[in-house]
Amino acid sequence: MIKLLKKLPNKSAMAAIAFAIGASISAAPAVASHHFESKLAQEHPQFDLTDMFVFDSERRGYTAFMMDVNPTTKGSAAFGEKGVYSFHIASDKSFGSGGMTITAHLEGNQLVFGLVDGANQAVGTKGKVFGRAGVGKTVKFKNGVKVWSGAARDPFVGNSEGIVGFLTTLIGKGKLELSQFNKGVDLFKDFNSSIILVEVPNKMLPKSIHVYASSAMYNVDQWVQVNRVANPLVTHMFLANNKMEVSEHIQHRPDSDVTRRYAISGMVLRAVALDGKISNPVEYADSVAAQLLPDMISYKVGSRAEYSYPKVNGRKPSDDGMDAVLSLMVGRKVTDHANTFNRHPVKFPYVVPVQ
């Protein structure tokens, strides 16, 4: 099947994978970090968020926030009109105090950037405009924020064929088979995404932040949230057999995530029990659920970002997110054997643009 997928355009390939895993284990659509998780995302891929990163900028004293959008992107960036893309930056996971949201929305061939007080405001909130930038252009605004947007090679590295086999045997057959990853095929090495990158002066941020991204669109007569992302593969791996909770996760914000901890704990417990290498599987499974939910990535501003197992402090585009979460699921360091980390420059804009 993977040979066929290589010949298909991006959306067709992802839809084919979604069908394969859905038929096998009744999972939510797709098996990338976050691809085509809902009918709305399938119908409006311009608002389908696929990944989010928060990390230390190459410029001292700045933090970079990046979101990947639209897995159907080809030769040029494709953002959606009548919508808004948001980086939610909280000072604590309970949204108790402080925090802000940086937004972007498309007007013509420009992204309009706004700032909102608070990290969990109403869906569709755009905030006070602080600048405009043409898609594909690098612009630095008066408040010190620097932005870039455009089409780029998808930075996500992952073995989707392995995930399909791994989850099929884990859920459907009651077996833990890490050998499903042995081929090490990185499906995303030939894919593109539309990227929004924002660099923010550290002086504008709390010392410790907890971040997630969301997309929303005005649909018929109301604002609706299309997607939200933070930790990679939360819905596709840890909630893979629970369509109801995947839908709830996508449609709501992190302040309701605690209600889904049981589902993640159950999935992890199944994996570690079958693996048989952890002496306290229930305690471990509960700790993973508490780490992943609320679904936000924590980062100490000004420090070196690293998303790995067992350490998480922000996430760089070059971090092996699939290895990290796969290791977290089984409770020991393992790999998906997909390692095509050749599209992750350390210089701004931290991705490889395409024309």
DSSP string, 284-340: HHHHHHHHHSS--EEEETTSPPEE-SS-EESB-TTS-HHHHHHHHHHTS----S---
CA distance 17 to 31: 7
- If phi > 0 it is left, if psi is from -120 to 50 it is alpha, else beta; for residue 118 that is left
CA nearest neighbour of 120 among 295, 291, 292, 262: 295
Rounded to 5 degrees, φ, ψ at 91 are -90, -15
Query: What is the pLDDT, as a whole number, of residue 41?
Result: 86
Whole-number pLDDT of residue 232 = 96
User: How many whole angstroms separate alpha carbon 113 and alpha carbon 347?
Assistant: 22
Residue with tokens 């997928």: 5
| Residue 192, strand partner residues | 153
CA-CA distance, 16 to 230, in Å (whole number)? 25
In this prediction, residue 355 carries a pLDDT of 73
Domain boundaries, the chain: 2-330
Q: What is the pLDDT of residues 34-65, one digit of tens each?
A: 556 678 888 999 999 999 999 999 999 999 99
The answer to whether residues 228 and 49 touch, using CB atoms and an 8 Å cutoff, is yes
Identify whether the C-beta of residue 55 lies closer than 8 Å to the C-beta of residue 62. Answer: no
Q: What is the pLDDT of residues 289-307, one digit of tens each?
A: 999 999 999 999 999 999 9
Distance (Å, rounded) from C-alpha 69 to C-alpha 197?
Answer: 11
Interatomic CA distance for residues 37 and 213, integer angstroms: 15
Name residue 133's beta-bridge partners: 111
What is the predicted pLDDT for the residue at 37?
67
Q: Return the pLDDT at 36.
A: 64
Backbone angles phi and psi of 134, in degrees to 5: -65, 145
CA angle 258, 263, 268 (to 5 degrees): 115
Question: Which one, of 301, 322, 44, 338, lies nearest residue 194 by Cα?
Answer: 44
User: In terms of DSSP bridges, do strands 62-69 and 192-201 run parallel, antiparallel, or are they unpaired?
Assistant: antiparallel
Tell me the pLDDT of the chain averaged across its residues: 90
- Give the model's pLDDT for residue 97: 76
Question: Residues 54, 59, 62, CA angle at the centre, nearest 5°?
Answer: 45
Tell me the average confidence (pLDDT) per consecutive run of 10 residues in the chain, 355 residues long: 32 40 36 62 93 97 98 95 97 88 97 97 97 98 98 97 96 97 95 98 97 96 95 94 90 94 98 97 98 98 98 98 98 97 97 92
Spatial separation of the C-alpha atoms in residues 155 and 186, rounded to whole Å: 11
User: Which tokens in the block code for residue 31?
Assistant: 């098996």
Check if the beta carbon of residue 75 is closer than 8 Å to that of residue 151: yes
Residue 173 DSSP class: S
For residue 102, the model assigns a pLDDT of 98
DSSP run (H or E) holding 169: none
